[in-house]
Amino acid sequence: MTEFGRAAVHYVTKFGWSVFPLAPRTKRPIPENGLNAATRHLPTIDHWWRQTPDANVAVATGTKSGFWVLDLDEKAGGPDWLREQEHERGQLPRTPQQLTGGGGEHILFALPDGVQIRNRVAIVPGVDVRGEGGYIVVAPSIHPTGRAYYWDVARHPLETPLAMAPEWLVKLAVRTAPEVATSPAEWVQIIQKGTNEGSRNDSVARLAGHLLRRGIDALVALELLQAWNARSCRPPLGEDEVIATVDSIARVEARRLERGTRR
C-alpha cells in the first residue's frame, strides 16, 4: 500500500478512528455514501487504497472516532481569534493538533460526557466545529494548493492524548439559541468606547453582522469597520484581519438570506 493507505490503517489500528478515502488532492469523498462509509474494517480500507493509491485520508469526527475538532481558518482570522481568547481566558490544554494544507489548524478534543457536539460552521468568524456529522482531512493528505497536512510535532496524537476542552469552549461549540439582542445603548457604547485586545475580533464580527443584517453594503460596512478599528481597537487589528472577518460574516449572512429565499 502507498503512504496514504498505510496512514489510513495506522489511524484505525493505533487510535480506533473511522476513516474513508477522498479524491486525490480534494475534500470530496470517493464512496457514494460519503461520510457514512467511514469504517474501521481493514479489508475495506485495503481495497479502497489499492483502488485509488493516492486518495486523501478523511477521519469521521464525533462518536465514530471519539473526538471533536476546533477547525481554524487562517484566512478568516480563526487562529488570531483563538490567541485572543487564550490571552483572556488562559491557554487551551495540550491536545493533538494538526496544521492543514490550507494554512489553518485542527485542534482535537475528547468528547464530553452527556453533550453532543455537532458539525457547525462559523461559530465565530474563521472558526468551525467538526463533530457529529462531520469529518476532517488528515496527514499525509494533500490540499488542493499542493501543500500537505501534517501533525504538529509537539502535539502528535501518538504522544499527546486527547484532552477535554474548557467549559467555555464547549458551550460555544454547542450553543444553538440566539444570544439576547444587543440594545441600541450597548451598540453606542461599543462604538464610543472601543475594545481591547482579547475581544477585538469578536467586536468587529458583531458590528459587521449588525450592519449587514440591516442591508448595509458589505464594502460600506468594511470601510466603516476599518475606520472604527483604527480609532477604537487597542491595539488595532491588521487590515487583513478586518477584511477576513467582514468577509466571513458577509458569507454567513448571504447563506442566511439564501435559505430564507428558498423557503
For residue 99, give the C-alpha cell.
496544521
Taking the chain, what is the end-to-end CA distance rounded to the nearest angstrom?
48
Average pLDDT over residues 67-90: 92
Looking at the predicted structure, is the pLDDT value of residue 258 above 80? no
What is the pairing mode between strands 67-72 and 233-234? unpaired
Residue 123 confidence (pLDDT): 87
Residue 125 confidence (pLDDT): 84
Residue 260 confidence (pLDDT): 56
For residue 87, give the C-alpha cell.
490571552
- Answer whether 139's CB lies under 8 Å from 150's CB: yes
Closest by Cα among 228, 167, 237 to 198: 237
3-state secondary structure of 91: coil
123-139 burial: b if 16+ Cβ within 10 Å, else e: bbbbbbbbbbebbbbbb
Signed CA dihedral, 35, 163, 170, 236: sign only? negative
pLDDT-derived band at 240, boundaries 50, 70, 90: confident
Average pLDDT over residues 227-236: 91
Average pLDDT over residues 248-262: 68
CA distances from 186 to 57, 85, 157, 216, 220 (A): 47, 22, 44, 19, 22
Average pLDDT, the chain: 90
Looking at the predicted structure, is the pLDDT value of residue 247 above 90? no
Q: Which of 65-79, 135-149, 227-241 has the lowest mean pLDDT?
A: 227-241
For residue 144, give the C-alpha cell.
488542493
Average pLDDT over residues 250-260: 70
pLDDT-derived band at 176, boundaries 50, 70, 90: low
Looking at the predicted structure, is the pLDDT value of residue 132 above 60? yes
Residue 55 confidence (pLDDT): 98
Domains of the chain, first to last:
3-174 (3.30.2250), 184-262 (no CATH)
What is the pairing mode between strands 105-110 and 120-124? unpaired
| Alpha-carbon Rg for the chain in angstroms | 20
Percent residues over pLDDT 70 in the chain: 94
pLDDT digit string (tens) for 15-73? 999 999 999 999 999 999 988 999 999 999 999 999 999 999 999 999 999 999 999 99
Bridge partners of residue 135, in order along the sequence: 60
CA distances from 105 to 74, 75, 215 (A): 8, 11, 33
Bridge partners of residue 69, in order along the sequence: 108, 130
Residue 3 confidence (pLDDT): 97
